């Protein structure tokens, strides 16, 4: 009987073992696949969220940086008129108004491009209206017609300038014909 019960036990184990292994292997593999898929979806969602956050941050910074652009474009002619008026009238009121306007520009990150004669011409900040033969080095500013403006390191309007060019040698042909 002892032998009979051992055989029965071995047969039962053989029968039960495959059934247990099948049911254990498949659910574990399925759970591992689901876990891998959920992990992949989580990482993708996290990356997308991070990208959206970065884009939003950059967009907000860009919007903040250039928010006053149209305001500044409207005020620039006022500054030009005040400068022109100062050239003809030495009124204290005009000077105070201009100073207030300049202060408002500075608060809003609007700075002047006001080159002086003999400064090097910079095509990123200056617009050459004319070229003038001059004793100055070539491509230097001879005169400024109108100031330019930067807003947060971006050129809103370039300074309008005349630029020097080399003097051309002129040959006097009247003496040669005599």
* Mean pLDDT score, 54-66: 86
In this prediction, residue 51 carries a pLDDT of 94
Interatomic CA distance for residues 46 and 38, integer angstroms? 12
pLDDT at 91: 76
Top CATH class, 69-165: mainly beta
pLDDT at 3: 52
Task: Delimit the domains of the chain by residue range.
Answer: 69-165
Mean pLDDT of 21-32: 73
For the segment 73-89, what is each residue's pLDDT rounded down to a tens digit?
878 888 887 887 777 76
Residue 7 has pLDDT above 80, yes or no: no
Of 19-23, 126-130, 159-163, least confident by mean pLDDT is 19-23
What ranges in the chain are assigned the alpha helix state H? Answer: 2-65, 69-88, 92-107
Question: Per-residue pLDDT averaged across 49-55, rounded?
Answer: 94
Total Cβ atoms within 10 A of residue 81: 12
- Check the CA dihedral 94-96-98-100 and report its sign: negative
Task: Give the pLDDT confidence of 9-22 residue by residue, as tens digits.
Answer: 555 555 554 444 45
Token duo for residue 67 = 């928010």
Taking the C-alpha atoms of residue 149 and residue 125, their distance in angstroms, rounded to an integer, is 8
Distance of CA 53 to the CA centre of its chain: 17
Better-predicted residue by pLDDT, 23 or 36? 36
Residues 6+ apart with CB under 8 A from 135: 167
Express each pLDDT in 86-118 by its tens digit. Answer: 777 667 778 888 888 888 888 888 899 999 988
């Amino acid at each position: 009987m002892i032998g009979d019960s051992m055989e029965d036990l071995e047969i039962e184990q053989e029968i039960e073992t495959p059934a247990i292994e099948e049911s254990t292997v498949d659910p574990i593999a399925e759970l591992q696949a689901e876990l891998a898929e959920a992990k992949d979806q989580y990482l993708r969602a996290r990356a997308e969220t991070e990208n959206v956050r970065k884009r939003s941050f950059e967009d907000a910074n860009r919007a903040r940086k250039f928010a006053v652009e149209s305001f500044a474009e409207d005020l620039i002619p006022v500054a030009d008129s005040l400068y022109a008026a100062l050239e003809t009238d030495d009124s204290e009121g005009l000077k105070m108004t201009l100073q207030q306007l300049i202060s408002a520009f500075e608060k809003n990150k609007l700075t002047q491009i006001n080159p002086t004669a003999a400064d090097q011409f910079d095509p990123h900040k200056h617009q050459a209206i004319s070229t003038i033969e001059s004793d100055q080095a070539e491509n230097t500013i001879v005169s400024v017609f109108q100031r330019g403006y930067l807003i947060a390191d971006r050129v809103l309007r370039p300074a309008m300038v005349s630029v020097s060019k080399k003097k051309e040698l002129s040959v006097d042909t009247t003496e040669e014909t005599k």
